[in-house]
Amino acid sequence: MEQEQKEGGLELTTPDFLYEKKSLFRDHYRNTDFNITKLPRREIAFSHWGSKAVWDRRHGFSDPAQIRETILLSPISAVFASIGHFLDPNEKVGKRGMVGLDLVFDIDKRPESNRVEWLEDISYETYEVYEKLTRELGFSENDIELEFSGNKGFHYLVKGHEDMHIEDRKSILQYLKGDQMQRKTLPVIGKGGWGGDFIKTIRSIGHVCTPDSSFNTNALSMLGLSKAHAKKLGDLAVTDSFRNQLQQGRLDIDTKVEAAIANLAFNNRKETFESLDKTVTADKNRVLRVPGSLHAESGFSCVKLSLDALSDPELVFESIIRSGGEDEVSLTLAKDCVSDLDKVTGFAKGTHTVPRWQALHLSVQN
Rounded to a whole number of angstroms, the CA Rg of the chain reads 25
State residue 191's pLDDT score: 64
5 Cβ contact partners less than 8 Å away, ≥ 6 residues apart: 11, 12, 13, 14
Dmax of the chain from CA atoms? 86
H-helix or E-strand spanning residue 100 = strand 98-101
Spatial separation of the C-alpha atoms in residues 123 and 317, rounded to whole Å:
13
How large a percentage of the chain has pLDDT more than 90?
A: 75
Q: What is the pLDDT of residue 19?
A: 61
Task: Give how far the C-alpha of residue 222 lies from the chain's centroid of Cα atoms, to the nearest Å.
Answer: 28
Q: What is the pLDDT of residue 184?
A: 61
pLDDT of residue 11 exceeding 60, the answer is no
Q: Is the pLDDT of residue 148 over 70?
A: yes
> Between these two residues, 265 and 290, which has the higher pLDDT value?
290
DSSP readout, 119-158?
HHHHHHHHHHHHHIIIIIT---GGGEEEEE-SSSEEEEEE
Residue 123 contacts residue 310 (beta carbons within 8 Å):
yes
Q: Does residue 249 register a pLDDT over 50? A: yes
For every residue of 185-219, DSSP letters joined together read GGGGS-SSHHHHHHHHHHHHHHHH--S-HHHHHHH
Residues 6+ apart with CB under 8 A from 12: 4, 5, 6
Is the pLDDT confidence value at 139 over 50? Answer: yes
SS3 state at 11: strand
Residue 3 has pLDDT above 60, yes or no: no
**What pLDDT is recorded for position 240?**
95
Contacts of 170 (CB under 8 A, 6+ apart): 281, 282
8 Å CB contact between 76 and 32: no
Q: Which residues contact 51 (CB under 8 A, 6 or more apart)?
A: none
Determine the Cα–Cα distance for residues 222 and 86; give it in Å rounded to an integer: 51
- 3-state percent helix, strand, coil for the chain, nearest multiple of 5: 45, 20, 35
What is the spatial distance between Cα 90 and Cα 353, in angstroms, rounded to a whole number?
A: 43
Domains of the chain: 1-31+325-366 (no CATH), 32-178+278-322 (3.90.920.10), 183-272 (no CATH)
**DSSP for 313-344?**
HHHHHHHHHHHH--SEEEEEESS-EEEESSSE
CA neighbours closer than 13 Å in the CB half-sphere of residue 226: 9
Confidence of residue 290 (pLDDT cuts 50, 70, 90): very high
* pLDDT per residue as tens digits for the range 33-74: 999 999 999 999 999 998 878 889 999 999 999 999 999 999
Distance, in Å, from the CA atom of 340 to the CA atom of 174, rounded to the nearest integer, reads: 35
- Average pLDDT, whole number, for the chain? 90
State in Å, rounded, how far the first CA of the chain is from the last one: 16
Mean pLDDT of 15-39: 86
Is 109 strand, coil or helix? coil
What's the pLDDT score for residue 62? 95
pLDDT of 9 > 50? The answer is no
pLDDT value for 14: 39
pLDDT at 189 over 90: no
